[in-house]
Chains A and B, each alone.
Chain A
Amino acid sequence: MPVGRFRKNPRELDDFEKQVFAAQYPEGSLLLGMGVGLFFAMTAKDLSLLPSLVTTLGTGVGPIIGGVFGYLLGHAYKQRRLRSLRRRSKSNTHEKPVSAEEN
């Protein structure tokens, strides 16, 4: 979720970037984090695991904290996936000439 600067000009993205950016990993995991944060906050409130004031505030803040963590994890995964795709493509291009010579 780039603020102030778009990730890159979409027209300048390579095929790997398009594929990985399209999956929207940070955005999806932000939502997952929000859901998990809200679920835990609501469960803690229902089971009276913590003082009432803490659980009440937790219901408001939990999803936000969960969302931030989720986003960071998703962002890290996105970078990793991009590197992995590039590495795989590189090794494929290295392998091809070798196999051609062998043939």
Chain B
Amino acid sequence: MALVVGNAVSIPIFVLPAPLAGSVGPGVVVAVVLAAVPAFLAVLYNAQLGSAMPVAGGLYVYISRLIAPFWGFLVPFALPIVTWAALLFAAIGFAEYVRFFIEIPVAPLIYGFLVFVLLINLLGIKAVARAQILFVVMMFLSLGAFIVPGIFAVNPANYTPAFPNGVGPLGLAVVALYYPYLGFGLLTELGEEIENPGKNIPIALISGVVTVALIYLLFVFVLVGVMPWQQLGETEAAVAVASQQFLPWWGSDFVAAGAFFAVLTTVNTTLLVSSRTVMRAARDGILPESLSNIHPRFGTPYMSVLLLGVPPFFIAVFIQTEVVGLSVFIALATLTAMFFSAIALWNLPVEFPEHYENATLKLRRYRGLLFAVITGMLVSATIWAVTLIQLPIAGMLLVSWFGLGYVYYRYKLRKEGDDVGELYMRMVTLDEHEEAFAEEQTYEDATE
């Protein structure tokens, strides 16, 4: 639970709202509420799929087995580019808040951060989880230090006019603010590694999204209320600077330090989750087998961690400030996955009826499920359209990457030669122990 909430809350709260307030105005609070809608739907899908079929590499497995192998393949194929963007985003945020304490050039901070993240993920999940709990506790204490006294310091005049530049920028802000909820995918991606997954995944996800949405709303409400939106748009480490309006110097330092830890919590889990999915696809044979190699000493999928963690060093040469663009790109990719999750969930009762029947959390197919699925598909399609209108380059980049994915996919098929049928079957069927989960509702026998 600490991993999930820590990953979901961190970056957007400290880095995104200020630049978004600068373009949207105080109405960015509305964007926070609207962004919670697709987030809740995505969590609902993840909770149901995760409860029915807790597997390593969650979305990849669900989409390839329940819809079509190529759409599933796009999950691990798009993960590297999304992870690179997420790491850069976090590195930029980290640099921003370190510079609140001490004036150091941005570039060394970004590179130092990337090295740190790479090393921590190569050392393994236990080390990550141990550090994660400390980071999450620190982050929540600083959130409380900002929100609780901040509520009494807001100036109602700062909330008007709500949309000084019109409602145009609101759409893109909603997309960008969807990014923080990406962390909720963590539980379904780790699947098998979670104790009593059929029960714990839905509980953690649903309680987590409600908690996070509430914290997020309060946080942005206070931020916009204590500092005029024009200043927020131009201020680095805006949360810490805004807290200076109502906290003593040591209080603001504590808030800034919380942001520092919040950024760390996200990247801790970013590589952790992504590497599981890449590894699972490699096990199926659609990605190079070497990506599923486990380090003999640390027990981590070090090849996939390197694939995900090294390229940001090169990309950082070109991108060192563009947090909103990065978050829109990440959110768009995630919303695409949500669109397919909705279809996968709709197919679940037909394709794996036993898994569906025995799931702890399930909606009736022609009642709640149909409504949730159609709503989610419409919401993600609308958000795609809004993004294409306001930031078409993000959509173009993503579609091009998917197109490259198809070329690679066909290349892998060609390489398989006569064994193409076997590869196909691996990508559309579950492993034996995953099949058995429908009846056993545990992986204990399989892991013994």
Residues of A in contact with B (beta carbons under 8 Å apart): 1-6, 10-11, 15, 18-19, 21-24, 27-28, 31-32, 34-35, 38-39, 41-42, 56-57, 59-61, 63-64
Residue of B nearest to A21 (CB): B424
Check B413–A23 contact: CB distance below 8 A: yes
Q: Are A23 and B410 in contact (CB under 8 A)?
A: yes
- Within the complex, the shortest CB–CB distance from B84 to chain A, in Å, comes to 21
Q: What A residues does B71 contact at CB under 8 A?
A: 1, 27
Closest residue on chain B to residue A28 by CB atoms: B406
Q: Which residues of B contact A60 (CB under 8 A)?
A: 384-386, 388-389
The distance from the CB of A7 to the nearest CB of chain B, in whole angstroms, is 8
For the complex with contacts A35-B396, A42-B396, 13 further pairs of A-B residues with Cβ separation under 8 Å are A1-B343, A4-B346, A4-B347, A6-B347, A10-B424, A15-B421, A23-B413, A24-B69, A24-B70, A35-B400, A38-B388, A63-B384, A64-B385
| A10 and B428 form a contact (CB under 8 A) | yes
Q: Is the interface of B mostly helix, strand, loop or mixed?
A: helix
A15–B421 CA distance with the chains assembled, in angstroms: 7
User: B interface, how many residues as a size bin?
Assistant: 35 or more
Q: A10-B429, A31-B406, A60-B388 are in contact. Are A24 and B68 (CB under 8 A)?
A: yes
Type the 1/0 row for B377-404, where 1 means its CB is closer than 8 Å to any CB of A.
0000100111011001001100110110
In the complex, number of A-B residue pairs with CB atoms less than 8 Å apart: 92
A23 to B351, CA, bound (A): 21
B interface residue numbers (CB < 8 A to A): 66-71, 343, 346-347, 350-351, 381, 384-386, 388-389, 392, 395-396, 399-400, 402-403, 406, 409-410, 413, 420-421, 423-425, 428-429
Residues of B within 8 A of A38 (CB): 388, 392, 395-396, 399
> Closest approach, in angstroms, between the C-beta of B9 and any C-beta of chain A?
31
Q: Is the CB of A10 within 8 A of B425?
A: yes
Nearest-neighbour CB distance to chain B for A17, whole angstroms, equals 9
